[in-house]
């Protein structure tokens, strides 16, 4: 069994999280600028067995797709070419940034650390992945 990666693809950065090899626990990985995402993924996948990726599906309360979806679709096209054997799942990412901000605020981190967008992206990716794992178990 291999890991599952989650990617919270944003306009500037990607929050990334990964499971353990038994796909039980989601943990945040370093946030990566979009321009460096394939360099990061190639290195990560050369060092780890990755079975699938979960990419956030950015929708609003009415279920309409956010404008970043066009960028995500371009990313996924290239991803399929670079990693043709890796399964791709999409997962609703509504409220993950708000949840991430809340969890970070409850963690006791300094205000400066709480406002760091990269940390929010990392925690958002972790939430997406943990939610995906919980739904998969049902």
DSSP 121-136: HHHHHHHHHHHHHHHH
Task: Spell out the alpha helix ranges (H) of the chain.
Answer: 37-47, 69-82, 96-106, 111-114, 117-137
Predicted pLDDT at 55:
95
Is the per-residue pLDDT at 136 higher than 60?
yes
Mean pLDDT value across residues 78-91: 96
Tell me the C-alpha distance between 45 and 16, whole Å.
13
This prediction has a pTM of: 0.83
Tell me the C-alpha distance between 20 and 34, whole Å.
24
CATH 3.90.550.10 fits 3-137, yes or no: no
Tell me the C-alpha distance between 87 and 94, whole Å.
22
Predicted pLDDT at 109:
56
Is the per-residue pLDDT at 48 higher than 80?
yes
Query: At 87, phi and psi to the nearest 5?
Result: -70, 145
Q: Where are the domains of the chain?
A: 3-137
Is the per-residue pLDDT at 123 higher than 60?
yes
Say if CB 136 and CB 116 are below 8 A apart. no
- Weakest mean pLDDT among 34-38, 96-100, 124-128: 96-100
Confidence of residue 13 (pLDDT cuts 50, 70, 90): very high
């Amino acid at each position: 069994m291999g890991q599952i990666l989650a990617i919270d693809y944003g306009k500037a950065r990607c929050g990334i999280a990964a499971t353990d090899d038994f796909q039980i626990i989601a943990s945040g990985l370093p946030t990566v600028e979009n321009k460096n995402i394939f360099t990061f993924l190639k290195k990560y996948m050369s060092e780890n067995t990755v079975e699938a990726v979960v990419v956030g599906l950015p929708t609003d309360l009415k279920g309409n797709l956010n404008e970043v979806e066009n960028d995500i679709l371009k990313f996924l096209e290239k991803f399929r070419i670079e990693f043709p054997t890796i399964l791709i799942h999409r997962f609703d990412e509504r409220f993950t940034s708000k949840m991430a901000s809340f969890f970070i605020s409850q963690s006791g981190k300094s205000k400066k650390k709480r406002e760091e967008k990269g940390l929010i992206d990392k925690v958002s990716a972790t939430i997406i992945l943990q939610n995906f794992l919980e739904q998969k178990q049902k």
